[in-house]
Amino acid sequence: METTTQPLEGSAQHSTGTSERRTALIAVTVFPLIVVAAGVAGFLTPDRFVPFRPEVPWMLGLVMFLMGVTLTVKDLRRIAKRPWIIAIGITAHYVIMPLAGWAVVSLLRLPPDLAVGVILVGCAPSGTASNVMTYLAKGDVALAVSIAAVSTVLAPLLMPTLTLWLAGQYVTVPATAMLGDIVTTVLVPVVAGVAVRWLFPRAVLALTPAMPWLSVAAIAFIVAVVMSGSAAAVASAGWVVLLAVVIHNGIGLVLGYAAGRACHVDSASRRALAFEVSMQNSGLAASLATTYFTPTAALAPAIFSVWHNVSGAIAAAAMARRPLGEPENRSLRRPI
């Protein structure tokens, strides 16, 4: 009986892992295509989407609520058990991406409206898709989820402060109003999602397969509305913004991984750091840009929404082909 059961269990686990990986691959392939299609629709038929501009914060709130629903009590416990390596990830995220955004803006000499959009997306918390990329790259998914959660909780304080510091020279930054808006559209929905997961676990489990599609539909809606208001800017400066986004995201990938290496964490953790640093909550940045600045300022976050999924999928595929090395410093990699 024992010799029969073990292969069956191994087979079942392999089947489950294969199914999850297949689902993740579909997500990173299909989701960017949906977002691209939404952006094209917003650009070609702006009159259809411009009237929905007031609904953008509500759509962002839905995305953040769904993110909160995916968090479990175990995820929250992981944060308490691994404070140092999570602190490394949060520090790297909120140092590398904001400064990289400012550097790219200065290098390309972008006009104020475009500059604030690049900096704003650089000051945003980690994007939800980073967890999927970490999984595909065979990285430390638990660490990725923890960093994403903590960076989101800290966003109401850090995002307005960093934006004011780095973008204040270009435009007037209403930092206090932004703080209140981020609390309302990010922190409150995430906490509500965690509460719903805790109170109604069975219902949440039944709806889990539909949640990624709801999230991408909301993000696609935001991108379509942003592009509808930025059609003129796309026509005149689209390629410059795309270049800025590609450089910005690339710096995050390289320096995020390098930060892990410099701190002597293991290979799986370095892969998680690469994605948690480089992939931003561009939906939040687009919503804030639309609310507090100009439609042109929201162009960089909209393009970032598409590009970081493309670059992330490519990087994840490349990492997945490389075997994981032994931990370089076991004191930082505590058991969960």
Got the DSSP string for 76-136? Answer: HHHHHH-HHHHHHHHHHHHHHHHHHHHHHHHHHT--HHHHHHHHHHHTS-B-THHHHHHHH
**Residue 159 belongs to a domain:** yes
User: d(Cα 291, Cα 252) in Å, to the nearest integer?
Assistant: 26
Provide the pLDDT for residue 325: 66
User: Which range in 73-87, 96-110, 134-148, 193-207 is most confidently predicted, on average pLDDT?
Assistant: 96-110
pLDDT above 70: residue 18 = no
**Pick from 316, 275, 268, 273: nearest CA to 136:** 316
Provide the pLDDT for residue 137: 85
Range of the domain at 62: 58-320
Average pLDDT estimate for 259-263: 93
42: buried, middle or exposed (CB in 10 Å: 19+, 13-18, 0-12)?
buried
**Residue 25 belongs to a domain:** no
User: d(Cα 161, Cα 148) in Å, to the nearest integer?
Assistant: 19
Higher-confidence residue of 201 and 16: namely 201
pLDDT above 80: residue 233 = no
Higher-confidence residue of 332 and 133: namely 133
pLDDT above 90: residue 213 = no
**Residue 49 belongs to a domain:** no
pLDDT above 50: residue 10 = no
Contact 171, 116 (CB under 8 A): yes
**Residue 268 belongs to a domain:** yes
Write the secondary structure of 255-277 as one string of H (helix), E (strand) and C (coil).
Answer: HHHHHHHHCCCCHHHHHHHHHHH
User: d(Cα 217, Cα 27) in Å, to the nearest integer?
Assistant: 12
What's the number of domains the chain is made of?
1
pLDDT above 50: residue 48 = yes
Q: What percent of the chain has a predicted confidence (pLDDT) above 90?
A: 26
Output the CA torsion 312→318→322→328 (10° steps). -40
Tens of pLDDT, residue by residue over 150-181, are 898 899 999 999 999 999 888 888 888 888 88
Reported residue count of the chain is 336
DSSP SS3 for 172: coil
Average pLDDT estimate for 77-93: 85
Contact 116, 245 (CB under 8 A): no
**Residue 6 belongs to a domain:** no
**Residue 185 belongs to a domain:** yes
Q: Give the CATH number, domain containing residue 182.
A: 1.20.1530.20
pLDDT above 60: residue 201 = yes
Beta-bridge mates of residue 279: none
Helix, strand, coil shares, percent, the chain, to 5: 85, 0, 15
**Residue 257 belongs to a domain:** yes
Q: Which two tokens stand for residue 153?
A: 């909780």
Provide the pLDDT for residue 294: 84
Average pLDDT estimate for 85-114: 94
Q: What percent of the chain has a predicted confidence (pLDDT) above 70?
A: 86
**Residue 336 belongs to a domain:** no
